[in-house]
Structure 1
Amino acid sequence: MSDVAVTGAGRTHRRSELREFLMSRRARVSPAEAGLPDGGARRRTPGLRREEVAVLAGVGASWYQWLEQGRDISVSPQVLDAVARVLRLSNAERRHLYVLAGLNPPTPEVAPEKRDMCDGLRRLIDTWMPYPAHIMDRYYNCVLYNDAAAMVLGMRPDLTWNCLVDYFTNPLYRLRAESWERNARTVVAQFRAACSADPGDEGLQEVLARVRAASDEFGRLWEERNIEDAGQLRKELEHPLVGLLCLESTALKVPARPDLTIVLHTPLDEANSAAKLEWLASPEGRRGAMYPVAG
């Protein structure tokens, strides 16, 4: 099958999905919820009528009908946002509407009802024991970590951790992280990708200014303009109690909390790393963990 045929079939399917999606969302919004009289028993249409959505969204009735019919018309983010507001779409539904209408979806947002997920995420990283795990916000600040991250990466409650800044300014981590030079370019490229995805975010620009002022090496790597998505990194750390640890860190996103990144460290089949991490988490290892690796 030709690319043109596939593209045409995909476009037809998307328009059909757009029609069914808008009709289903319109049907679930009552006139009262939209601030309109309900019309009593004379009302045959469940939810809102097409012309009511058009009036409330500030668009022409014919235009909205064409949109719901999946016709090839010009749409703008502003008009889709107005329709999403009238239909009371969630953040995920709003992004879905953009995709069905053929536009790039907006930046994911945290829905109010999803903000209180920290207890569940805490359980997740605690279950990862005896392996290190931590959670960063969109600005690379560490917001949660487990005991193994404290013992291996030196995370402590009395420190304000920014994983990017500390990577380039913490001399103890630089000394003990044998993989530092190899990973530095990737770390910078991943941060540039984050900045590129949200160029207007003042918080990211503040972190950028802070780390550029603190590290000439970061500035040099930043000017290379490399871009990489977050994924996996191999890390070799020289721990003062157990010696070499070979780990693989994996960055994971939770769609409901796009502002957070979960970083899980898995021991590699080298240097007996898994057994060393298990010992560090044991009562004997905890008693001896007086000089953790920072990072």
Structure 2
Amino acid sequence: MGHSGAAYDGNELGDFLRARRASLTPHLVGLPDDGTLRRVPGLRREELARLAHVSVDYVVRLEQGRTRRVSRPVLDALADALNLAPDERAYLFTVADVTQPAPARTPARQPVDPRLRQLLEGMRDIPAMVLDRRMDVLAWNPAAAALLTDFGEVPPAERNLIRLTFLDDDFRALYADWPRAARECVAVLRMEAGRDPTDRALAALIGELGVRDGDFRTWWASHQVRGPRQLTKTYHHPVAGTLTLDVQQFSVDTRPDQQLVAYTAPPGSPSHEALRFLLQIAG
């Protein structure tokens, strides 16, 4: 994957192993602390090797990117030794098992099925949009434009939720807890980078964010990963005030790379009333 800049160095497996090893202490994995001063934080390579029942030289070769052919039992042992969460374990298997294909043409944005667009338009009281795996905004309804931004005014090449979260001041100001939302974005992007290391558009997005935003560089280097899950986000909207909304994510059977995302609030809640008010004003 041809990333530029410091955001990506091409050794996903080794970087991930080092980052997770650095996040642990002997106490967290059940090892005694010998009390000696550690030059760097986290587990030593020798300790990881002992926990995973592999040689230290093998850990060194994995971390330095000199090998990525790892058997399933060894990957399971490494994941157990590093106390990996389910998303992190899935990511480890993804980056370890990927072979190095020939450079591929960046896939074009897949069109949104007309019936899905019709569904979006029918969801008049629910902000909703269609995203691809890079978080490009492929389609949206008027309610989503009222809640988040008028995506029609954003140049198509810049119509990406993660890019807007980091680089658009107005979009950034919507989040009540921007650092949390932004870190979640980075974790999703890291997961997708592991799934498709030949996606040049994704590489370009990572490179741009790494060059233009220091927080992105820091969080990207931490190698946190996350797959889709149900979220609740709080927004400070300039018209509707504070809204806490559930973010629902639905797969699209006919387009595996797309998802339908909808924003809802419990009926009768202050956020539900604020959303109704916003959509009445926008309508």
Instruction: Using structure 2 for the length normalisation, give the TM-score.
Output: 0.56
**Between the two proteins, what is the percent identity of the paired residues?**
26
2:150 maps to 155
Q: Which runs of 4+ in 1 moved over 6 A?
A: none
Structure with larger RCO (C-alpha < 8 A, sep 6+): 2
Give deviations 1:73-104, integer Å, cap 9, x for gaps: xxxxxxxxxxxxxxxxxxxxxxxxxxxxxxx9
What is aligned with 1:286? 282
> May I ask how many residue pairs the two structures share in their alignment?
173
- CA distance in structure 2 between the aligned counterparts of 1:257 and 1:128, rounded to whole angstroms: 20
Measured in 2, the distance between the counterparts of 1:133 and 1:235 equals 14
> Counterpart of 2:162 in 1: which secondary structure?
helix
Quick one: distance in 2 between partners of 1:226 and 1:130? 34
CA shift in 2, pair 1:173/1:274, >3 Å: same
Q: For the structure 1 residues 132 and 185, does the alpha-carbon distance in structure 2 shift closer, same or farther, using more than 3 Å as the test?
A: same
CA shift for structure 1 position 268: 4.3
State how far apart, in whole Å, the 2-side matches of 1:169 and 1:265 are.
22
Question: Whose Rg is larger?
Answer: 1
1:95-130 superposed Cα distances (whole Å, 9 cap, x missing partner): xxxxxxxxx9xxxxxxxxxx7652111122223321
Question: CA contact under 8 A between 1:246 and 1:271: conserved in structure 2?
Answer: no
The aligned residue for residue 213 of structure 1 is 211
Letter of the aligned partner of 1:149 in structure 2?
A
Residue 138 in 1 paired to residue 109 in 2? no
TM-score by length of 1: 0.54
- Paired amino acid for 1:125: L
Task: Name stretches of at least 5 consecutive residues in structure 2 with no aligned partner.
Answer: 1-97, 99-109
What RMSD over aligned residues (CA atoms) do the two structures have, in Å?
2.3
Q: CA deviation at 1:184?
A: 1.9
Q: 2:123 aligns with which of 124, 128, 135?
A: 128
Amino acid at match of 1:178: A
Equivalent residues in 2 for 1:66-77, closer than 5 Å: none
Structure 2: distance between partners of 1:198 and 1:276: 39
Secondary structure of 1:225 counterpart = coil
Q: Indicate conservation of the 8 Å contact 2:164/2:172, yes or no.
A: no
Q: Is the 8 A contact 2:134 2:189 kept in 1?
A: no
8 Å contact from structure 2 (residues 246, 263) kept in 1: yes
Q: Is the 8 A contact 1:183 1:233 kept in 2?
A: no
**Cα distance in 2 between the residues matched to 1:247 and 1:116:** 28
In structure 1, runs of 5+ residues without a counterpart are: 1-103, 105-114, 288-295
Alignment match of 2:185 (pick from 174, 184, 187): 187
